[in-house]
Amino acid sequence: MPDIDKSLIIKNISKHITLDNNEEKHFLSILKPQKIKKKAFLLKEGDICRATAFVINGCMKSFTVDKNGFERVLNFAPVDWWTADMFSLISQRAAILNIQAIADTQLLLLSKQDQEALYFQIPKFERFFRIIIEKSLVAHQMRVLDGLSLTAEQRYIKFCEKYPQLWNQLPQKEIASYIGVTPEFFSKMKRNMD
Amino acid sequence: MPDIDKSLIIKNISKHITLDNNEEKHFLSILKPQKIKKKAFLLKEGDICRATAFVINGCMKSFTVDKNGFERVLNFAPVDWWTADMFSLISQRAAILNIQAIADTQLLLLSKQDQEALYFQIPKFERFFRIIIEKSLVAHQMRVLDGLSLTAEQRYIKFCEKYPQLWNQLPQKEIASYIGVTPEFFSKMKRNMD
Protein backbone atom coordinates (compact mmCIF):
# COMPACT_ATOMS: atom_id res chain seq x y z
CA MET A 1 0.00 0.00 0.00
CA PRO A 2 2.70 2.51 -0.83
CA ASP A 3 0.29 4.83 -2.60
CA ILE A 4 -2.15 5.60 0.22
CA ASP A 5 -1.07 8.32 2.61
CA LYS A 6 -2.15 7.27 6.09
CA SER A 7 -1.10 10.46 7.86
CA LEU A 8 -4.62 11.88 7.39
CA ILE A 9 -6.27 9.15 9.44
CA ILE A 10 -3.71 9.53 12.23
CA LYS A 11 -4.40 13.28 12.28
CA ASN A 12 -8.14 12.51 12.39
CA ILE A 13 -7.70 10.13 15.34
CA SER A 14 -5.41 12.48 17.22
CA LYS A 15 -8.13 15.14 17.39
CA HIS A 16 -9.60 13.07 20.23
CA ILE A 17 -7.07 10.54 21.53
CA THR A 18 -3.28 10.24 21.66
CA LEU A 19 -1.66 7.05 20.39
CA ASP A 20 1.88 5.98 21.26
CA ASN A 21 4.13 4.59 18.52
CA ASN A 22 3.15 0.98 19.05
CA GLU A 23 -0.55 1.76 19.15
CA GLU A 24 -0.27 3.81 15.96
CA LYS A 25 1.64 1.00 14.25
CA HIS A 26 -0.92 -1.59 15.32
CA PHE A 27 -3.86 0.59 14.24
CA LEU A 28 -2.34 1.26 10.80
CA SER A 29 -1.58 -2.45 10.36
CA ILE A 30 -5.25 -3.44 10.60
CA LEU A 31 -6.55 -0.91 8.05
CA LYS A 32 -7.25 -2.21 4.56
CA PRO A 33 -6.84 0.27 1.71
CA GLN A 34 -9.46 0.20 -1.01
CA LYS A 35 -9.68 2.16 -4.23
CA ILE A 36 -13.14 2.60 -5.57
CA LYS A 37 -14.09 4.03 -8.94
CA LYS A 38 -16.68 6.77 -9.38
CA LYS A 39 -20.20 5.26 -9.28
CA ALA A 40 -18.96 1.95 -7.77
CA PHE A 41 -20.60 0.73 -4.57
CA LEU A 42 -18.90 0.08 -1.24
CA LEU A 43 -22.17 -1.34 0.10
CA LYS A 44 -25.57 -2.13 -1.38
CA GLU A 45 -28.91 -2.16 0.41
CA GLY A 46 -29.49 -5.70 1.67
CA ASP A 47 -25.76 -6.50 2.07
CA ILE A 48 -24.16 -6.79 5.49
CA CYS A 49 -21.93 -3.84 6.41
CA ARG A 50 -18.68 -5.39 7.61
CA ALA A 51 -16.44 -2.32 7.92
CA THR A 52 -16.24 1.36 8.76
CA ALA A 53 -14.59 3.38 5.99
CA PHE A 54 -12.40 6.47 6.27
CA VAL A 55 -12.17 8.70 3.17
CA ILE A 56 -8.57 9.56 2.16
CA ASN A 57 -9.62 11.30 -1.03
CA GLY A 58 -12.72 11.46 -3.22
CA CYS A 59 -16.23 11.36 -1.79
CA MET A 60 -18.89 8.78 -0.86
CA LYS A 61 -22.65 9.16 -0.52
CA SER A 62 -25.09 7.11 1.54
CA PHE A 63 -28.63 6.85 0.25
CA THR A 64 -31.78 4.79 -0.01
CA VAL A 65 -34.05 4.41 -3.01
CA ASP A 66 -37.74 4.98 -2.27
CA LYS A 67 -40.55 2.98 -3.82
CA ASN A 68 -40.88 5.50 -6.66
CA GLY A 69 -37.22 5.02 -7.55
CA PHE A 70 -36.04 8.34 -6.11
CA GLU A 71 -32.70 8.44 -4.30
CA ARG A 72 -32.86 9.85 -0.77
CA VAL A 73 -29.40 10.95 0.34
CA LEU A 74 -28.71 10.53 4.06
CA ASN A 75 -25.24 12.02 4.00
CA PHE A 76 -22.07 12.58 2.05
CA ALA A 77 -18.61 11.59 3.27
CA PRO A 78 -15.93 13.82 1.74
CA VAL A 79 -12.19 13.64 2.59
CA ASP A 80 -11.43 13.11 6.30
CA TRP A 81 -14.92 11.71 7.11
CA TRP A 82 -15.93 8.25 8.28
CA THR A 83 -18.82 6.34 6.74
CA ALA A 84 -20.74 3.09 7.33
CA ASP A 85 -24.30 1.78 7.50
CA MET A 86 -24.38 2.04 11.28
CA PHE A 87 -27.58 -0.03 11.57
CA SER A 88 -26.08 -2.93 9.65
CA LEU A 89 -22.62 -2.54 11.19
CA ILE A 90 -23.88 -2.88 14.75
CA SER A 91 -26.64 -5.44 14.13
CA GLN A 92 -24.96 -7.38 11.28
CA ARG A 93 -28.37 -7.39 9.59
CA ALA A 94 -29.19 -6.32 6.02
CA ALA A 95 -28.06 -2.77 5.22
CA ILE A 96 -30.65 -0.05 4.71
CA LEU A 97 -28.20 2.15 2.85
CA ASN A 98 -26.33 2.10 -0.41
CA ILE A 99 -22.86 3.61 -0.08
CA GLN A 100 -21.51 4.71 -3.44
CA ALA A 101 -18.47 6.65 -4.65
CA ILE A 102 -19.42 9.92 -6.32
CA ALA A 103 -15.80 10.43 -7.45
CA ASP A 104 -12.80 8.09 -7.69
CA THR A 105 -12.15 7.48 -4.00
CA GLN A 106 -9.48 6.00 -1.76
CA LEU A 107 -10.66 4.49 1.49
CA LEU A 108 -9.13 2.89 4.53
CA LEU A 109 -11.39 0.15 5.88
CA LEU A 110 -11.55 -0.91 9.51
CA SER A 111 -13.36 -4.25 9.64
CA LYS A 112 -16.04 -4.76 12.29
CA GLN A 113 -14.01 -7.66 13.68
CA ASP A 114 -10.82 -5.60 13.94
CA GLN A 115 -12.76 -2.66 15.39
CA GLU A 116 -14.26 -4.85 18.13
CA ALA A 117 -10.83 -6.32 18.89
CA LEU A 118 -9.34 -2.81 18.94
CA TYR A 119 -11.71 -1.78 21.75
CA PHE A 120 -10.06 -4.43 23.92
CA GLN A 121 -6.49 -4.01 22.67
CA ILE A 122 -6.47 -0.20 22.86
CA PRO A 123 -9.50 0.85 24.93
CA LYS A 124 -9.08 4.54 24.16
CA PHE A 125 -10.59 3.75 20.75
CA GLU A 126 -13.90 3.37 22.63
CA ARG A 127 -13.46 7.03 23.49
CA PHE A 128 -12.54 8.00 19.94
CA PHE A 129 -15.54 6.32 18.37
CA ARG A 130 -17.87 7.52 21.16
CA ILE A 131 -16.86 11.10 20.41
CA ILE A 132 -17.18 10.91 16.63
CA ILE A 133 -20.52 9.11 16.92
CA GLU A 134 -21.75 11.83 19.29
CA LYS A 135 -20.87 14.41 16.65
CA SER A 136 -22.60 12.39 13.97
CA LEU A 137 -25.67 12.08 16.21
CA VAL A 138 -25.81 15.87 16.63
CA ALA A 139 -25.52 16.34 12.84
CA HIS A 140 -28.38 13.89 12.21
CA GLN A 141 -30.54 15.44 14.96
CA MET A 142 -30.08 18.84 13.31
CA ARG A 143 -31.02 17.27 10.00
CA VAL A 144 -34.26 15.83 11.47
CA LEU A 145 -35.17 19.25 12.86
CA ASP A 146 -34.25 21.03 9.62
CA GLY A 147 -36.46 18.57 7.74
CA LEU A 148 -39.35 19.35 10.09
CA SER A 149 -39.04 23.12 10.17
CA LEU A 150 -37.01 24.58 7.32
CA THR A 151 -37.99 25.37 3.76
CA ALA A 152 -36.09 23.67 0.92
CA GLU A 153 -34.16 26.92 0.37
CA GLN A 154 -33.09 27.02 4.03
CA ARG A 155 -32.13 23.33 3.90
CA TYR A 156 -29.98 24.10 0.85
CA ILE A 157 -28.19 26.88 2.76
CA LYS A 158 -27.54 24.43 5.64
CA PHE A 159 -26.18 21.88 3.17
CA CYS A 160 -23.72 24.49 1.84
CA GLU A 161 -22.59 25.31 5.39
CA LYS A 162 -22.16 21.65 6.32
CA TYR A 163 -20.31 20.61 3.18
CA PRO A 164 -18.40 23.73 2.03
CA GLN A 165 -16.18 21.49 -0.11
CA LEU A 166 -19.13 19.97 -1.99
CA TRP A 167 -21.77 22.56 -2.78
CA ASN A 168 -20.22 23.75 -6.04
CA GLN A 169 -18.85 20.35 -7.08
CA LEU A 170 -21.76 17.94 -6.83
CA PRO A 171 -24.33 17.43 -9.58
CA GLN A 172 -27.51 19.34 -8.72
CA LYS A 173 -29.53 16.11 -8.58
CA GLU A 174 -27.38 14.81 -5.69
CA ILE A 175 -28.00 17.97 -3.70
CA ALA A 176 -31.72 17.83 -4.53
CA SER A 177 -31.85 14.24 -3.18
CA TYR A 178 -30.12 15.38 0.01
CA ILE A 179 -32.49 18.26 0.70
CA GLY A 180 -35.51 16.19 -0.27
CA VAL A 181 -36.84 17.87 -3.42
CA THR A 182 -37.02 16.89 -7.08
CA PRO A 183 -34.21 18.03 -9.40
CA GLU A 184 -36.78 20.17 -11.26
CA PHE A 185 -37.89 21.93 -8.09
CA PHE A 186 -34.25 22.39 -7.10
CA SER A 187 -33.25 24.12 -10.37
CA LYS A 188 -36.25 26.40 -10.18
CA MET A 189 -35.45 27.24 -6.55
CA LYS A 190 -31.79 27.95 -7.39
CA ARG A 191 -32.80 30.27 -10.23
CA ASN A 192 -35.04 32.19 -7.84
CA MET A 193 -32.20 32.44 -5.28
CA ASP A 194 -29.67 33.90 -7.74
CA MET B 1 -33.40 9.47 47.89
CA PRO B 2 -35.37 6.58 49.35
CA ASP B 3 -38.23 7.02 46.91
CA ILE B 4 -36.43 6.55 43.59
CA ASP B 5 -35.85 2.97 42.52
CA LYS B 6 -32.43 2.79 40.94
CA SER B 7 -32.59 -0.84 39.86
CA LEU B 8 -33.92 0.22 36.45
CA ILE B 9 -30.81 2.21 35.57
CA ILE B 10 -28.55 -0.65 36.65
CA LYS B 11 -30.54 -3.00 34.45
CA ASN B 12 -30.22 -0.50 31.58
CA ILE B 13 -26.44 -0.27 32.04
CA SER B 14 -26.01 -4.02 32.33
CA LYS B 15 -27.43 -4.56 28.84
CA HIS B 16 -24.00 -3.50 27.57
CA ILE B 17 -21.41 -3.59 30.37
CA THR B 18 -20.94 -5.47 33.65
CA LEU B 19 -20.23 -3.46 36.79
CA ASP B 20 -18.74 -4.98 39.93
CA ASN B 21 -20.18 -3.99 43.32
CA ASN B 22 -17.82 -1.07 43.89
CA GLU B 23 -18.36 0.31 40.42
CA GLU B 24 -22.13 0.04 40.78
CA LYS B 25 -21.96 1.79 44.17
CA HIS B 26 -19.81 4.58 42.77
CA PHE B 27 -22.01 5.03 39.73
CA LEU B 28 -25.20 5.23 41.82
CA SER B 29 -23.54 7.69 44.21
CA ILE B 30 -22.98 10.28 41.48
CA LEU B 31 -26.55 10.25 40.12
CA LYS B 32 -28.83 13.09 41.22
CA PRO B 33 -32.54 12.29 41.42
CA GLN B 34 -34.91 14.94 40.15
CA LYS B 35 -38.68 15.03 40.17
CA ILE B 36 -40.21 17.14 37.50
CA LYS B 37 -43.88 18.08 37.17
CA LYS B 38 -45.85 17.66 33.97
CA LYS B 39 -45.11 20.63 31.62
CA ALA B 40 -42.02 21.70 33.59
CA PHE B 41 -38.75 22.07 31.70
CA LEU B 42 -35.52 20.20 32.32
CA LEU B 43 -33.80 22.40 29.72
CA LYS B 44 -34.78 25.44 27.69
CA GLU B 45 -33.42 26.47 24.31
CA GLY B 46 -30.48 28.82 24.95
CA ASP B 47 -29.53 27.22 28.30
CA ILE B 48 -26.41 25.09 28.65
CA CYS B 49 -27.14 21.35 28.97
CA ARG B 50 -25.14 20.20 31.98
CA ALA B 51 -26.40 16.65 32.45
CA THR B 52 -27.66 13.51 30.75
CA ALA B 53 -31.02 12.36 32.18
CA PHE B 54 -32.32 8.83 32.59
CA VAL B 55 -36.12 8.42 32.84
CA ILE B 56 -37.26 6.31 35.83
CA ASN B 57 -40.93 7.01 35.24
CA GLY B 58 -43.02 9.49 33.28
CA CYS B 59 -41.94 10.83 29.90
CA MET B 60 -39.90 13.72 28.46
CA LYS B 61 -39.99 15.31 25.03
CA SER B 62 -37.26 17.22 23.18
CA PHE B 63 -38.38 19.86 20.74
CA THR B 64 -37.63 23.16 19.05
CA VAL B 65 -40.08 25.95 18.27
CA ASP B 66 -39.95 27.20 14.69
CA LYS B 67 -40.33 30.82 13.68
CA ASN B 68 -44.09 30.41 13.25
CA GLY B 69 -44.40 29.18 16.83
CA PHE B 70 -44.90 25.52 15.91
CA GLU B 71 -43.28 22.87 18.10
CA ARG B 72 -41.09 20.40 16.21
CA VAL B 73 -40.56 17.28 18.29
CA LEU B 74 -37.16 15.62 17.83
CA ASN B 75 -37.86 12.69 20.13
CA PHE B 76 -39.64 11.41 23.20
CA ALA B 77 -37.92 9.75 26.16
CA PRO B 78 -40.28 7.36 27.95
CA VAL B 79 -39.29 5.10 30.89
CA ASP B 80 -35.85 3.48 30.55
CA TRP B 81 -34.58 6.01 27.95
CA TRP B 82 -31.77 8.55 28.21
CA THR B 83 -32.19 12.17 27.10
CA ALA B 84 -30.03 15.29 26.67
CA ASP B 85 -29.35 18.08 24.20
CA MET B 86 -26.30 16.31 22.80
CA PHE B 87 -25.12 19.39 20.89
CA SER B 88 -25.10 21.52 24.03
CA LEU B 89 -23.84 18.72 26.27
CA ILE B 90 -20.72 18.10 24.20
CA SER B 91 -19.99 21.71 23.19
CA GLN B 92 -21.28 23.45 26.35
CA ARG B 93 -22.86 26.01 24.03
CA ALA B 94 -26.47 27.23 24.05
CA ALA B 95 -29.01 24.40 23.74
CA ILE B 96 -31.03 24.04 20.54
CA LEU B 97 -33.66 21.92 22.26
CA ASN B 98 -36.29 22.36 24.92
CA ILE B 99 -36.63 19.26 27.09
CA GLN B 100 -40.00 19.20 28.85
CA ALA B 101 -41.90 16.70 30.98
CA ILE B 102 -45.12 15.54 29.31
CA ALA B 103 -46.17 13.71 32.51
CA ASP B 104 -44.96 13.91 36.11
CA THR B 105 -41.51 12.41 35.73
CA GLN B 106 -38.69 11.08 37.88
CA LEU B 107 -35.19 11.39 36.48
CA LEU B 108 -31.69 10.40 37.47
CA LEU B 109 -29.20 13.01 36.30
CA LEU B 110 -25.59 12.30 35.44
CA SER B 111 -23.77 15.65 35.30
CA LYS B 112 -21.39 16.32 32.41
CA GLN B 113 -18.57 16.73 34.90
CA ASP B 114 -19.30 13.39 36.61
CA GLN B 115 -19.75 11.67 33.26
CA GLU B 116 -16.35 12.91 32.03
CA ALA B 117 -14.74 11.78 35.32
CA LEU B 118 -16.52 8.43 35.05
CA TYR B 119 -14.84 7.74 31.70
CA PHE B 120 -11.48 7.83 33.52
CA GLN B 121 -12.60 6.16 36.74
CA ILE B 122 -14.49 3.30 35.05
CA PRO B 123 -13.45 3.27 31.38
CA LYS B 124 -16.05 0.71 30.41
CA PHE B 125 -18.59 3.56 30.57
CA GLU B 126 -16.97 4.80 27.34
CA ARG B 127 -18.19 1.53 25.88
CA PHE B 128 -21.65 1.87 27.37
CA PHE B 129 -22.23 5.37 26.08
CA ARG B 130 -20.63 4.56 22.71
CA ILE B 131 -23.13 1.75 22.25
CA ILE B 132 -26.22 3.70 23.29
CA ILE B 133 -25.18 6.67 21.16
CA GLU B 134 -24.70 4.34 18.18
CA LYS B 135 -28.27 3.13 18.67
CA SER B 136 -29.53 6.69 18.95
CA LEU B 137 -27.64 7.60 15.78
CA VAL B 138 -29.31 4.74 13.90
CA ALA B 139 -32.75 5.89 15.15
CA HIS B 140 -32.11 9.46 14.01
CA GLN B 141 -30.73 8.32 10.64
CA MET B 142 -33.92 6.32 10.08
CA ARG B 143 -35.92 9.39 11.05
CA VAL B 144 -34.07 11.54 8.48
CA LEU B 145 -34.76 8.95 5.78
CA ASP B 146 -38.40 8.57 6.84
CA GLY B 147 -38.79 12.35 6.64
CA LEU B 148 -37.37 12.33 3.11
CA SER B 149 -39.30 9.37 1.72
CA LEU B 150 -42.41 8.47 3.73
CA THR B 151 -45.86 9.96 3.73
CA ALA B 152 -47.26 11.41 6.98
CA GLU B 153 -49.37 8.26 7.39
CA GLN B 154 -46.30 6.02 7.05
CA ARG B 155 -44.37 8.24 9.49
CA TYR B 156 -47.22 7.84 11.97
CA ILE B 157 -47.04 4.06 11.66
CA LYS B 158 -43.27 4.23 12.30
CA PHE B 159 -43.92 6.41 15.36
CA CYS B 160 -46.31 3.77 16.74
CA GLU B 161 -43.72 1.04 16.18
CA LYS B 162 -40.93 3.06 17.81
CA TYR B 163 -42.93 4.16 20.84
CA PRO B 164 -45.47 1.37 21.49
CA GLN B 165 -45.95 2.71 25.01
CA LEU B 166 -46.88 6.21 23.80
CA TRP B 167 -49.05 6.11 20.70
CA ASN B 168 -52.35 5.82 22.56
CA GLN B 169 -51.32 7.99 25.52
CA LEU B 170 -49.95 11.19 24.02
CA PRO B 171 -52.13 14.13 22.98
CA GLN B 172 -52.58 14.10 19.22
CA LYS B 173 -50.86 17.47 18.86
CA GLU B 174 -47.61 16.02 20.27
CA ILE B 175 -47.66 13.19 17.75
CA ALA B 176 -48.47 15.65 14.95
CA SER B 177 -45.40 17.73 15.94
CA TYR B 178 -43.26 14.61 15.88
CA ILE B 179 -44.34 13.48 12.42
CA GLY B 180 -44.19 17.03 11.07
CA VAL B 181 -47.81 17.89 10.26
CA THR B 182 -50.38 20.28 11.72
CA PRO B 183 -52.80 18.94 14.35
CA GLU B 184 -55.65 19.58 11.88
CA PHE B 185 -54.00 17.54 9.15
CA PHE B 186 -53.21 14.82 11.69
CA SER B 187 -56.84 14.42 12.87
CA LYS B 188 -58.06 14.32 9.29
CA MET B 189 -55.44 11.70 8.43
CA LYS B 190 -56.33 9.59 11.47
CA ARG B 191 -60.04 9.67 10.55
CA ASN B 192 -59.17 8.46 7.06
CA MET B 193 -57.01 5.65 8.49
CA ASP B 194 -59.73 4.28 10.79
In a domain, A77, yes or no: yes
What was the ipTM of the complex prediction? 0.92
Q: What is the mean pLDDT of residues B179-190?
A: 91
Asked if residue B173 has pLDDT above 60, the reply is yes
Within its chain, how far is the Cα of A53 from the centroid? 8
Residue B1 is predicted with a pLDDT of: 46
How does pLDDT run across B129-147, given as a tens digit for each residue? Answer: 999 999 999 999 999 999 8
Which chain B residues are closer than 8 Å to A145 by Cβ? 64, 72, 74, 96
Rounded Cα gap, residues A27 and A52, in angstroms: 14
A146: nearest Cα among B175, B96, B90: B96
Task: Please answer yes or no on whether B137 and A86 come within 8 Å at the CB atom.
Answer: yes
Asked if residue B152 has pLDDT above 50, the reply is yes
Task: Please answer yes or no on whether B140 and A144 come within 8 Å at the CB atom.
Answer: yes
How does pLDDT run across B55-95, given as a tens digit for each residue? Answer: 999 999 999 998 888 899 999 999 999 999 999 999 999 99
Residue B156 is predicted with a pLDDT of: 94
Domain end residue (candidates: B132, B163, B186) = B132
Q: What is the CATH number of the domain that holds B104?
A: 2.60.120.10
Same domain, B123 and B178: no
Q: How many domains, chain A?
A: 1
Q: What are the angstrom distances between the C-alpha of A192 and each of A168, A180, A184, B47?
A: 17, 18, 13, 37
Rounded Cα gap, residues B58 and B106, in angstroms: 7
Same domain, B121 and B35: yes
Residue A31 contacts residue A141 (beta carbons within 8 Å): no
Same domain, B83 and B160: no
**Choosing among A138, A158, A182, which should be mutated to test the B contact, i.e. which has the most B CBs within 10 A?**
A138
Residue A80 is predicted with a pLDDT of: 95
Over chain A (194 residues), what is each successive 10-residue block's mean pLDDT? 79 97 97 97 98 96 90 94 97 97 96 97 96 96 90 92 87 90 91 86
Mean of the per-residue pLDDT values of chain B:
93
Same domain, B125 and B155: no
How far is A146 from chain B, CA to nearest CA, in Å?
10
Residue B169 is predicted with a pLDDT of: 83
Taking CA atoms, what residue in B is nearest to A68?
Answer: B149
Taking CA atoms, what residue in B is nearest to A119?
Answer: B127
Residue B168 is predicted with a pLDDT of: 81
**A64, A90, A127 member nearest B126 (Cβ):** A127
Q: What is the mean pLDDT of residues B110-120?
A: 97
Q: Which domain holds residue B160?
A: 150-194
Taking CA atoms, what residue in A is nearest to B96?
Answer: A142
CB pairs under 8 A between A and B: 92
Task: Please answer yes or no on whether A142 and B66 come within 8 Å at the CB atom.
Answer: no
Residue A3 is predicted with a pLDDT of: 63
Task: Please answer yes or no on whether A142 and B64 come within 8 Å at the CB atom.
Answer: no
Task: Please answer yes or no on whether B138 and A90 come within 8 Å at the CB atom.
Answer: yes
Share of chain B above pLDDT 70, in %: 98
Rounded Cα gap, residues B40 and A28, in angstroms: 50
Q: What is the mean pLDDT of residues B36-58?
A: 97
Task: Please answer yes or no on whether A137 and B138 come within 8 Å at the CB atom.
Answer: no
Residue B3: pLDDT band (50, 70, 90) is low
